Amino acid sequence: MFKKILIANRGEIACRVMKTAKRMGIATVAVYSDADANALHVRMADEAVGIGPAAAAQSYLVVDNIIDACKKTGAEAVHPGYGFLSERAEFARALEKAGIVFVGPNVHAIEAMGDKIESKKFAAKAKVSTVPGFLGVIEDDRHAVKIANEIGYPVMIKASAGGGGKGMRIAASAAEVAEGFARAKSEAKSSFGDDRVFIEKFIINPRHIEIQVLGDKHGNVIHLNERECSIQRRNQKVIEESPSPLLDEKIRAAMGAQAVALAKAVNYDSAGTVEFVAGQDKSFYFLEMNTRLQVEHPVTELVTGIDLVEQMIRVAAGEKLAIRQGDVKRNGWAMECRIYAEDPFRGFLPSIGRLVRYRPPEEGTRGGATVRVDTGVVEGDEISMFYDPMAAKLVTHASERLAAVDAMADALDAFAIEGVEHNVPFLAAVMQSERFRKGTLSTGFIAEEFPDGFKGVAPEGDTLATLAAVGAALDHVYGERKRRISGQLTGRLVTRQKERVVRVGAQDVKLEIVRQEDAFAVRLADTKKRTLVLQSHWKPGDPIWRGLIDGREVAVHVRPMANGFLLSHRGSREKVYVYTAREAALASLMPEKKSADSGKVVKSPMPGLVLSIAVKPGQEVQSGETIAVVEAMKMENVLRAERDGKVKTVHVKPGESVAVDAAIVEFQ
C-alpha cells in the first residue's frame, strides 16, 4: 500500500479523497493555485505545494507542475479526482514515465473510453446500442449544420473531451447549430484544451441513468448498480439518486451486464461509470463512459456501503477486488443535491464572494435517515470566479425514496449560507414537487416545471403557517430582549399585544401569540383555528431557527432585515413583517418603490471575464442579436439585445473583468 499520495485537484473532491486516505493511514499532499492558497483542501493535507496562477490552464491543468510536486514530496501515487486531468491519457502516461502510480484506469482504457468520439466508435464495434450521430471530424459551422440536417432536429453538440455540461449545446434549428457549434468548441478549448466536438440525435424526454463499474488489474469487473441523474440544468447534473425510480430488476441487470461487458472489453481496472440515455419505455442507449470517479459517487456508497475511493486506491496498489458481484447489495435509497453558488432567482447566474455564513446541517444518522455533507469550503472562504461554482454536495439516505426526499428537504432547510447567492431554495422547491416525489423524471424536468425560471414558491398551507408562526416567535424574542436593555426609565410595565398580523410576502396571516415558559402558543385565525406550539432555543444572531412545532422538528433560515426578517423554508423565501392590526393597516398604505427603467443598458448578469464584444458605437442592433460573451466559472454566457436600438457607448473591452450589473453596452 502507498505511504503517500498526491491529490491533483481542489475543492470538495480533494477533501473527500483525503478523508479516505487518512482513514487508510496514507499521508496526503495537496496542490493549489494562487487563488486556493488558503483553501480547505490545503489545510486538510499533510503537505501542500503551490503549482501556479489562479487560472486552471496555468495550474491544475499543467502536467509538469503536478509531477514536480510529486517529486518534491515523495508522493508515490496521484488521485486525480474528477475534472481537470482525471481523463487525460497523456497525464496518466506522463505519471507512468515518471514512476508514479495513477489512481485510475490504464492508459488504453482512458483512450478507448475517455474520448467521447472514440468511445462511441468502440461501443459500436462491440455491438452496444448507441444514439444515432456523426462521430467524424466536423470542419466548420456549415458542416455542422449539414450534419444536423441529415440527423434531424433536435441535436446535441458535445465536446469530445467534455464533462460536467461544459462544451455542450442542444440545438433545434440550423441557426442554433451554427452558434452552438462555435460556443461548444470555444468552451471545450478553454475547459479541456481540446476543441473537438461531435453531433448526435437528442432523444426527446429522456432519462439519464448510469452504471457504476469497478475493476482491478487481475481481470475482475463488477457493477454497483445504477444512479439516476435526470434532474439537470444546461446539461449539468443537479440532483442524483440511487436506485432509479424507472428501473426494474430485469432492466437493471441488463444495463449492468452491458456496462460490465464494455468495461471488460477495454480491461478496465478502476472505478468508472457507463452512462446511458433511457427512454420512458425503459429502452436504453450507450451515451459515454467516464473513466474517473463521478461527482455523484456518494449515493452509490450509501446504498452499497462500499467506499469507492478506497477501492480505487487498493486497485491502483495492485490488490484484487475483495468484492464479488454477488456481494453487492442495495440497502435503501440515497439522494444527492449539489449546492451551487448561483442565484436561482436570476436565471441561476453564478455568484462569487465571501462566505459570510456557512453552516451545513449536522452529519450523522437520526430518525432513521443519514445526512452526509461533502464540502470543500468553510465559513469565511471565498467562492472564486475561476472554478466550478459547486460549494458542497448534500446527501441523504433512508429506507425508501420518499423518506430520503423528506430527509433532504429537512437538511436543505437547515443549511445556512450567506454572503453569496445559492440554489438551496430551488433544491428545496424540487423536493416539494409532486412530479419529483412521484419519480416521473426526465432531463427536461427543470425546463418543464420552471418554464419561466425559478421565482420561488408561494407559501401555502403548512409552509405559510410555519413562516407566520416562526416570524411571530422571532419578533417576540426580539421584543423581550429590548425590554431587558439596562438604563430604561422605570414606570408602568410594558405589555405586548398578543394579536398580530404577520405579512408573509403578499399574504397577511392573523394570529395570536402567547409565551408559555420555554414555548410559544400560536393560534391561527384561519378556517381550522389551529393552535401551534413552538419550542426552540433560538436566539438573535442564529442563522437557523431550529425547534419543534407541535412536536415535529422544523428548521427555518433566518436573515434579519429592516423591521422584519427574510425567512426561507421548503423552497419559499419571503420577507416577513410582524405588525399590530393598526401597523398592518398603515403599512398597506405605503407606496411601493419601483426600480428605474434600465432598458437602454445591457448589464452583465454575473461577475466574470469579457471574452468578446460583438458591437461598436453607432451600430444598429436588432432584438436578440448577440452583444457580448462573458465567461464565469468555466461557462460562456451570451448577452443579447432585448430590443432594437442603436449603440451609443461600449463600456468594456475583451479581457476585462466585470462585476455583476456592470454596464456592458448603452443604447441611444
d(CA 285, CA 347): 31
For residues 241 and 325, the answer to whether their CB atoms sit within 8 Å is no
Helix (H, G, I), strand (E, B) or coil at 205: coil
Q: Is 173 within 8 Å of 164 (Cβ atoms)?
A: no
- Residue 597 backbone phi and psi in degrees, to 5: -70, 125
Tell me how far CA of residue 526 lies from CA of 243, 258, 402, in angstroms.
41, 58, 29
Residues 6+ apart with CB under 8 A from 1: 24, 26, 313, 314, 317
Inter-axis angle of helices 11-23 and 308-316, to 10 degrees? 70
- Asked whether 625 and 641 are in contact (CB, 8 A), the reply is yes
User: What is 39-65 written as a DSSP string?
Assistant: -HHHHHSSEEEE-S-SSGGGTTT-HHH
**Active-site residue, from 87, 241, 288, 296:** 288
Judging by beta carbons within 10 Å of its beta carbon (0-12, 13-18, 19+), is residue 594 exposed, middle or buried?
Answer: exposed
Active site residue 150: no
Q: Where are the beta strands (DSSP E) in 367-486?
A: 369-375, 382-383, 390-398, 416-418
List the Cα angle 158/164/166 in 5-degree steps: 45
8 by DSSP, 3-state: which? coil
CA–centroid distance for 606 within its chain:
17
Catalytic residues: 288
